[in-house]
Amino acid sequence: MNTERQKSPTYILYKNDSRGTANHGWLKSFHTFSFGSYYNPERIRFGALRVFNDDFVEGGMGFGEHPHDNMEIISVPLEGLLEHKDSLGNTTLIKPGEIQVMSAGTGVYHTEYNKNRREPVKFLQIWIFPKTRNVHPRYDQLDFSSKLQQNKLLQILSHNKDDEGVWIHQDAWMNIGAFDRDHLIEYTLKKEQNGLFIFVIEGAIQIENYTLSTRDAIGVFGLSQVKATAIDNCKVLLIEVPPFLN
């Protein structure tokens, strides 16, 4: 397992059991970064990545109507069926193999409910700071399931509306992929100064001296290319973000 060194790279490990937790009965949430009543000054953000919540919502339950502004809000469902409604007039369903993005901009209201009354819904809630404030709010979602190939990363988000996946108001990229054991996972950053946040949805990977298991994550700065090895069958999500607000 190798990782190309350019300058002295920085690794920030986010172990599954070090995350903040919230248990509201209908919602169990694991916060990689400070969120809600979980406040850890050492865990505020990774570059422009501000929120990475691993949410479990009981059947038929969900987030009632609430507002947002000036944030790029991305949902990646892992299990179940999520119903989205917003003040832009969108009512949609979103399921695993899809990605949802909402640019809150000047202000938007939304609800997110578990459409299934019996089964829990599990999804990743990801917030990225926008590079431009007060944009016109917008919503989009994309089914990428037919493009997934085993042992290959698939880009599902970028900053460019003409590129693969959905787009947001930030120089960020998101890739997802499932890999067989012993397979090499390689990612070349689009911009050298950017950081890469790697989340293990399931399985295990090795990166440098770090072993990551299900729901562990690691942030890397200072590399132009990152290499990891699947040490078990795994599914990973990679997020490239600028190091600072711009």
What is the end-to-end Cα distance of the chain in Å, rounded? 33
CB of 123 to another protein, least distance (A): 15
- Residue pair 49/81 in contact by the 8 Å Cβ criterion: no
Residue 49: C-alpha distances to residues 38, 72, 173 (Å):
17, 10, 11
- Site stretch for another protein (CB under 8 A), options 32-40, 116-124, 159-167, 188-196: 32-40
Work out whether 44 is an interface residue with another protein (CB under 8 A): yes
Where residue 44 falls (left for φ over 0; alpha for ψ -120 to 50; beta otherwise) is: alpha
**DSSP letters spanning 77-99:** EEES-EEEEETTS-EEEE-TTEE
Residue number, 102 or 220, with CB nearest to another protein? 102
Site for another protein in 106-145 (CB under 8 A): 106-107, 109, 127, 129-130, 133-134
Residue number, 71 or 198, with CB nearest to another protein? 71
Residue number, 45 or 183, with CB nearest to another protein? 45
Site for another protein in 58-117 (CB under 8 A): 66-71, 104-107, 109
Residue number, 134 or 151, with CB nearest to another protein? 134
Rg, Å, the chain Cα set: 17
User: How far is it, in rounded angstroms, from Cα 200 to Cα 23?
Assistant: 22
Site for another protein in 144-173 (CB under 8 A): none
Angle formed at CA 35 by CA 30 and CA 115, multiple of 5 degrees:
55
CB of 230 to another protein, least distance (A): 33
Residue number, 5 or 67, with CB nearest to another protein? 67
Structure tokens at 210: 């770090």
Residues that bind another protein (CB under 8 A): 34-37, 39, 41, 44, 50-51, 66-71, 104-107, 109, 127, 129-130, 133-134
